[in-house]
Structure 1
Amino acid sequence: MPRQSRQSTTKRATTQTARIGGVRKVIKTRADGKVTITDALPLEWELQAAQCRALRDMPEYGKQFLFAGDQNAAKRGQTASAQAKAAGMTAGEPDLRIYLKGGRLGLIENKVGRAALEPSQVTRHPALAALGHPVVVVRAVTEDDAAAQAVALVRKWLAGNDNEPSC
């Protein structure tokens, strides 16, 4: 005779992220059944995209600085991953490279809130700093904050103040 499975009467707390009306939301269900819905934090790429928009809008863009972005953490299939690695994509590379007038380079890594650096970043960022290219980690929980921090950094670098990137 087949064994019957017992259904658990113990409820667990759950958390999931879903889009509601096109907006990412966090849905938490407590063990007692109470449900709360809050706005989800932005994804790291969304912070970076907001920074790119804000940096392009600066009057100095194209005259005193340019930038390039990476998404080394993007999910790729086995073939695409091998191609990216063969073409020089390096794990741990900062998200944005800011090319400043005078041959200087600024590097920005984005993290949402208190998110930890990836192991490859823990290795790569000090190696870059040892060569004279320190990486600034921008921590933000909104796109506007990430954009404002990036603009402030670039303005500081352009003015030659603290945290001036060197080559």
Structure 2
Amino acid sequence: MAKTTAKTSTQMTRMNGKRVRIVTRVTATGTSVKVTDAAPKEWELQAAQVRALRAMPEYGKQFLLAGDQNSAKRGPRAQMEATAAGMTPGEADLRIYLAGGQLRMIENKVGKGRLSPAQVGRHAALARLGHAIEVVRADACAGAAVRAVELVRGWLNQ
């Protein structure tokens, strides 16, 4: 019996203005193509959270937020400037400033995305100082926004 081998390729592109994932599988018996919605990018999860949190009636009265994009791609000069100015690899995506001098943080991951080594180290260092970071895993922007609102409501009610 002959061994059959299959070759699979994946690419991301835009169709009708929407990001999609195209998986092509070629076997001895034919070719199949499957097109599905692409997972959101991490910054898109964060942007949805920021919109939802700023829409809360408590925003500006009981809490404020600040976002980071320390993982943004930069050239060598921009990277040097960012590092010199205090940009720190592994910093959480969102900082939530609560009344009473409390700080909470949210880190976003798409699906089963893993924390980078810099994030693992930074989160551990912050935890040693008493600052926990909540990791929000989501496959859609709406789910990330709902989870962020739930977290902040919980922190406000503590």
Q: Answer whether TM exceeds 0.5 for this pair.
A: yes
Query: 1:136 Cα shift?
Result: 0.4
- Aligned partner of 2:19 in structure 1 is 24
- Normalized against structure 1, the TM-score is what? 0.89
Which of 66, 69, 78 is the matching residue for 1:68? 66
- Aligned partner of 1:101 in structure 2 is 99
Which of 7, 14, 17 is the matching residue for 2:9? 14
Deviations 1:99-128 (A, max 9, x none): 000000010000001000001011110110
Gaps of 5+ in 1: 1-9, 161-167
- Aligned partner of 1:3 in structure 2 is none
In 2, distance between residues paired with 1:31 and 1:136?
Answer: 42
Runs of 4 or more off by more than 3 Å in structure 1? none
Query: 1:145 Cα shift?
Result: 0.3
In 2, distance between residues paired with 1:124 and 1:31?
Answer: 43
- Aligned partner of 2:122 in structure 1 is 124
SS of 1:156 mapped into structure 2: helix
- Aligned partner of 1:50 in structure 2 is 48
Within 5 Å, give how 1:76-95 maps onto structure 2: 76-95=74-93
More strand per residue? 2
Percent of aligned positions that are identical: 62
Deviations 1:74-99 (A, max 9, x none): 00111111000000000000000000
The alignment of Structure 1 onto Structure 2 pairs a total of residues equal to 151
In 1, distance between residues paired with 2:137 and 2:70?
Answer: 18
Deviations 1:44-96 (A, max 9, x none): 00000000000000000000000000001100111111000000000000000
SS of 1:75 mapped into structure 2: coil
- Aligned partner of 1:164 in structure 2 is none
Query: 1:11 Cα shift?
Result: 6.6
SS of 1:157 mapped into structure 2: helix
SS of 1:145 mapped into structure 2: helix
Gaps of 5+ in 2: none
- Aligned partner of 1:112 in structure 2 is 110
Query: 1:12 Cα shift?
Result: 2.2
Q: Which amino acid aligns with 2:7?
A: R
What is the alpha-carbon root mean square deviation over aligned residues? 1.0
- Normalized against structure 2, the TM-score is what? 0.94
In 1, distance between residues paired with 2:47 and 2:155?
Answer: 20
Q: Which amino acid aligns with 1:126?
A: A
